[in-house]
Amino acid sequence: MEYRVLSQNSEEVERIDLPDEVFSYPVKKHLLWEVVRWQLASRRSGSASAKTRAEVRGSGRKLYSQKHTGRARAGDRKSPIRTGGGVAFPPKPRDFSYALPKKVRRAALKSALSLKVREGKLVVLDDIKLPEIKTKSFKAIVDALGLRKALFVIGGKDEVVEKSARNLPNVKVLRAEGLNVYDILRFEHLVMTKAALEKVEERLRI
């Protein structure tokens, strides 16, 4: 598939071939759902915690006599039905992550990339060069490309680009190795440099 490559000023500089096995892959929505669910589950901290009646500090003395008071039976003050008592079935710290086959993750990433191509929301740049860390300079690139909410993917570590973009509310910069389904779907446009494109192709062709 032939695709145009733009400069950061939105001028066409060349055309390249995108491999069909990566960018013309069938869009399988159930895989996209499964991988996004897996990603979000892995990000959960799982730190919610509450005390059972055995863990609440307090006396275990029976509050009053079992019979002849005209009131309901009561045990100690740590009972779950009393203010300050324990919780009957409390949440405890846990790990929400689970395993997902690499084959499924790769297929979902191909589906997400192919979806962006199908929708015309993939932008390929020859490179992103900034003289210094400056939000205004990066915003000029976003405006030149006519984007509102975009995920930028670069070939490798570039502190100037990464720090220049981090204060823009609807923009995120990722390195090629961090490209994932959730972020692709979360942003309207996907912008990739040629260097990032080559790394992603290499990763998904294996």
Cβ(119)–Cβ(184) below 8 Å: no
Other CB atoms closer than 10 Å to residue 81's CB: what's the count?
Answer: 9
Per-residue pLDDT for 16 more than 80? yes
Q: To the nearest whole percent, how much of the chain has pLDDT over 70?
A: 100
Cβ(25)–Cβ(105) below 8 Å: no
Distance CA 9, CA 62 (A): 78
Per-residue pLDDT for 69 more than 90? yes
206 pLDDT band (50/70/90 cuts)? low
DSSP string, 116-166: HHHHT-EEEES----SS--HHHHHHHHHHTT-SSEEEEESS--HHHHHHHT
1 pLDDT band (50/70/90 cuts)? confident
pLDDT tens-digit readout, 118-169:
999 999 999 999 999 999 999 999 999 999 999 999 999 999 999 999 999 9
Strands (E) in the chain, as ranges, are 2-6, 12-17, 122-125, 150-154, 171-175, 189-193
Q: Tell me the mean pLDDT in the region 82-97.
A: 96
34 pLDDT band (50/70/90 cuts)? very high
The whole-model pTM stands at 0.85
Order of all β-strands in the sheet with 2-6? 12-17, 2-6, 122-125, 189-193, 150-154, 171-175
Q: Tell me the mean pLDDT in the region 60-82.
A: 94
Residue 99's pLDDT is: 97
Extents of the domains making up the chain: 2-44+98-205, 46-95
Question: What CATH homologous superfamily does 2-44+98-205 map to?
Answer: Ribosomal protein L4/L1 (3.40.1370.10)
Q: Burial code of 88-117, b = ≥16 C-beta within 10 A, e = fewer?
A: eeeeeeeeeeeebeeeebbbbbbbbbbbbb
Distance from chain centroid for Cα 131? 30
Per-residue pLDDT for 205 more than 90? no
Assigned token pair, 206? 């294996």
pLDDT tens-digit readout, 90-116:
999 999 999 999 999 999 999 999 999
